[in-house]
Amino acid sequence: MAEKKPKTTRAARKTSERMDIRTIATAANVSIATVSRTINRVPTVNPKIAKRVWEVIDRLDYFPNTQARALVSGRSRIFGLIVSEITNPFFPELIQGFEDIAVEHGYEILVSSTNYDPQRMTHCIRRMLERKVEGVAIMTFGIEEPLLEQLASRNVPLVFIDVGPERPGISILKVDYQHGIRQGVQHLAALGHRRISFISGPKRLHSAQSRAAAFSAALQECGIAVDASTIIEGDHTMEGGIAATEKLLAAKNRPTAVMCSNDMTAIGVLHKLYRAGLRVPDDLSVIGFDDIHIAQVTIPPLTTIQMSRFDIARAAVTALRNHVAHSSDSHPQREYNIETSLIVRESTGFPHGAMTDLRKTRPKPAIKR
């Protein structure tokens, strides 16, 4: 057996470098209560004493133990953030915003990525509950019902995107897919496209359905017949985009434009078209969704529908903080709106063969609400 290091005894630690509120109290010659009050900026403490305490704190470079604080105050000052796929660039951009805003308000965040796996999701939720998070933002664009129960029953404040149960303590970020998607479809229609496909996300996700529905509605508005076969199921990944494009190219009546449920899918599409020797937008126009950062540098740069990560992040943190602040009975605001809008770049153009000579003049997207 290895030489057993004598376990540091309390006494020994005390004399050496134990750093707690007591140390500060002794050094500043006040009670621990006063130190605590000073740190928490309770206004009744005498400014002179406060100054003395702060000096000691600075000198000894002390900071309070968050665990102990959380234990007694019942407030962990942690928010959970659950995303579906951290490797999809949309989410890191969201996480960044969420972190910045949360930290600004003194919160720490616990991020988890579920990879669309319900099992992981369960585990995730459990871990967050154990850490006593004060709220969870579930940014997965869809969640299974039973899991939701698990969370809701603990009555932790929650924020969802798109859809969630009607219950106190739960907020929804309503994304206005309609607006952006309509702009996109109108943009394509104005260019002369009539055969437009849509590559959706996984059908079981509510958000995927919403986007597909918005697409169909927009088509109809433009007087284009809706054909269910033009909607292909993808999975929000590049690989899904590639697979969907293969199906698209195999169809007997190829579309002249394709709209994707997210940018990663569109990137897959772009790649597959390049592989197939087809040119974008000459042979096929492509529209993405999200406007992730790299959409600016794809080849060609991607026309896409923007949904602001920062807006989502801010709304999510705001919603959670509101729930924490107000008691659980009064719910201040249940829904928050998130806008979407078309960003025209270079992956969209006139359909093949149409008005070739006019190709240089790109019409502005028809914006109508």
Partner DNA sequence: GAGGTTTGAGAAATCGTTTACCCAGCACCC
Partner DNA sequence: GGGTGCTGGGTAAACGATTTCTCAAACCTC
Q: How far apart are CA 120 and CA 147, in angstroms?
A: 11
Q: Which stretch binds a second copy (CB under 8 A): 32-40, 181-189, 211-219, 264-272?
A: 264-272
User: What, of DNA, a second copy, none, does residue 39 touch, CB below 5 to 8 Å by kind?
Assistant: DNA
Q: Which stretch binds DNA (CB under 7 A): 72-80, 92-100, 111-119, 249-257?
A: 72-80
**Interface with a second copy includes 282 (CB under 8 A)?**
no
Q: How far apart are CA 296 and CA 169, in angstroms?
A: 38
User: What, of a second copy, DNA, none, does residue 192 touch, CB below 5 to 8 Å by kind?
Assistant: none
Tell me the closest approach of the beta carbon of residue 130 to a second copy, in angstroms.
Answer: 5
**Interface with a second copy includes 89 (CB under 8 A)?**
yes
**Interface with a second copy includes 129 (CB under 8 A)?**
yes
**Interface with a second copy includes 145 (CB under 8 A)?**
no
**Interface with a second copy includes 345 (CB under 8 A)?**
no
Tell me the closest approach of the beta carbon of residue 43 to DNA, in angstroms.
Answer: 7
**Toward DNA, which CB reaches closer, 61 or 145?**
61
Q: How far apart are CA 98 and CA 103, in angstroms?
A: 8
| 145-174 residues near DNA, rule: CB under 7 A | none
**Toward DNA, which CB reaches closer, 48 or 360?**
48
Strands 158-161 and 196-200: unpaired
Look up residue 195 and give its amino acid.
R
Q: Which stretch binds a second copy (CB under 8 A): 22-30, 51-59, 86-94, 203-211?
A: 86-94
- The DSSP string of 162-183 is S-----TTEEEEEE-HHHHHHH
Q: Hunting for tokens 């859809």 — which residue is that?
A: 163
| 182-241 residues near a second copy, rule: CB under 8 A | 238
Residue 177, classified by CB atoms within 10 Å of its CB into exposed (0-12), middle (13-18) or buried (19+), is: buried
Applying CB under 7 A, among 2, 5, 6, 10 the residue interacting with DNA is 10
**118-130 and 145-152 helices, crossing angle to 10°:** 0
**Interface with a second copy includes 91 (CB under 8 A)?**
yes
Q: How far apart are CA 200 and CA 241, in angstroms?
A: 9
DSSP H helix total and E strand total for the chain: 13, 12
**Toward a second copy, which CB reaches closer, 3 or 145?**
3
In terms of residues, how long is the chain? 369
- Three-point CA angle 342, 94, 297, nearest 5°: 50
**Interface with DNA includes 225 (CB under 7 A)?**
no
- Three-point CA angle 244, 245, 250, nearest 5°: 100
**Toward DNA, which CB reaches closer, 76 or 322?**
76
Cis omega (within 30 of 0) for bond into 281: yes
Applying CB under 7 A, among 27, 36, 110, 168 the residue interacting with DNA is 36
- Judge contact between 338 and 308, C-beta under 8 A: yes
Q: How far apart are CA 101 and CA 98, in angstroms?
A: 5
**Interface with DNA includes 37 (CB under 7 A)?**
yes
Applying CB under 8 A, among 9, 63, 252, 356 the residue interacting with a second copy is 63
Applying CB under 8 A, among 56, 267, 284, 313 the residue interacting with a second copy is 267
Q: How far apart are CA 8 and CA 5, in angstroms?
A: 9
The pair of three-digit structure tokens given for residue 74, joined into one six-digit string? 């019942």
Q: How far apart are CA 109 and CA 365, in angstroms?
A: 39
Task: Give the residues lining the site for a second copy (CB under 8 A).
Answer: 5, 63-68, 70-71, 76, 86-87, 89, 91-93, 95-96, 99, 103, 108, 110-113, 123, 126-127, 129-132, 238, 242, 267-268, 270-271, 274, 293-294, 296-301, 327, 329
Task: Give the residues lining the site for DNA (CB under 7 A).
Answer: 7, 10, 13, 18-22, 29-37, 39-40, 44-46, 48-49, 64-65, 68-69, 71-74
